[in-house]
């Protein structure tokens, strides 16, 4: 087996496990990239190959349009894991933020983060800020689908702190002891746990 073949197999098996440990993204780069991106997708990696020694090219079959009107398949590139590349694993589904015509993605622009603990609600946050301000019913439905009664307050506070950073209209969430208000909805809490969401 050639060295290139061995490296590709290693990358596909290990993904970008070292990436988050070895790479440091500029402060705010993820939030800025998400705010600017016209197309954000979830999709399955169906093939991959090395381009030289530092870049992986891979094909993604789109299965969910998080933002925009995507094509059915994309050919993307990403750096190697230690340089903030995304995890490239055949058959793996993830989120990809397409922020330029070259379709180069990295963990710094929000790609490859959908299954990390810190960004588990990334798709929900993007869908929420993309709703029209007047669509309180849609926001209520989205929150109800994602957060079950009893969900912890700290996690939801962190979710809305992130939402504020990517909101293109710079909408603010108002936090009080018993509720969080955002645009036209209010999330209510009992004993520090999520109870329900309603239209204000």
pLDDT in tens, 12-68: 544 434 444 468 889 999 999 999 999 999 999 999 999 988 999 999 999 999 999
107 and 125 share a domain? no
61 and 158 share a domain? no
Q: For the chain, how many structural domains are there in total?
A: 2
42 and 107 share a domain? yes
For 120, residues 6+ apart whose C-beta sits below 8 A from its C-beta are 114
61 and 125 share a domain? no
108 and 134 share a domain? no
In the block, tokens 């190697």 appear at 80
35 and 87 share a domain? yes
Q: Are 65 and 123 in contact (CB under 8 A)?
A: no
Give helix 153-166 / helix 122-130 axis angle, nearest 10°.
50
Q: pTM score, two decimals?
A: 0.82
Of 116, 145, 169, the domain-final residue = 116
Of 57, 86, 116, the domain-final residue = 116
136 and 111 share a domain? no
93 and 19 share a domain? yes
Q: Are 180 and 195 in contact (CB under 8 A)?
A: no
187 and 135 share a domain? yes
Q: What is the CATH number of the domain that holds 42?
A: 2.40.50.100
20 and 95 share a domain? yes
108 and 139 share a domain? no
Rounded to whole angstroms, how far apart are CA atoms 200 and 197? 9
Q: What stretches in the chain show pLDDT beneath 50? A: 1, 3, 5-7, 9-10, 13-21
């Amino acid at each position: 087996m050639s060295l290139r073949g061995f490296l590709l197999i290693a990358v596909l098996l290990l993904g970008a496990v070292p990436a988050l440990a070895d790479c440091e993204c500029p402060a705010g780069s993820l939030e800025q990239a998400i705010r600017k991106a016209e197309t954000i997708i979830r999709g399955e990696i169906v093939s991959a190959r090395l381009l030289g020694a530092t870049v992986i090219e891979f094909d993604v079959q789109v299965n969910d349009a998080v933002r925009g009107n995507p094509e059915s398949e994309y050919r993307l590139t990403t750096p190697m894991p230690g340089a903030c590349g995304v995890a490239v694993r055949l058959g793996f589904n993830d989120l990809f933020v397409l922020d330029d015509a070259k379709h180069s993605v990295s963990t710094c622009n929000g790609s490859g983060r959908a299954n990390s603990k810190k960004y588990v609600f990334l798709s929900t946050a993007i869908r929420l800020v993309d709703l029209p301000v007047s669509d309180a019913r849609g926001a209520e439905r989205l929150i109800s689908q994602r957060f079950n009664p009893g969900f912890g307050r700290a996690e939801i506070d962190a979710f809305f702190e992130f939402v504020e950073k990517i909101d293109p209209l710079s909408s603010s969430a108002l936090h009080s002891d018993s509720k969080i208000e955002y645009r036209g909805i209010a999330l209510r809490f009992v004993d520090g746990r999520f109870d329900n969401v309603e239209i204000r």
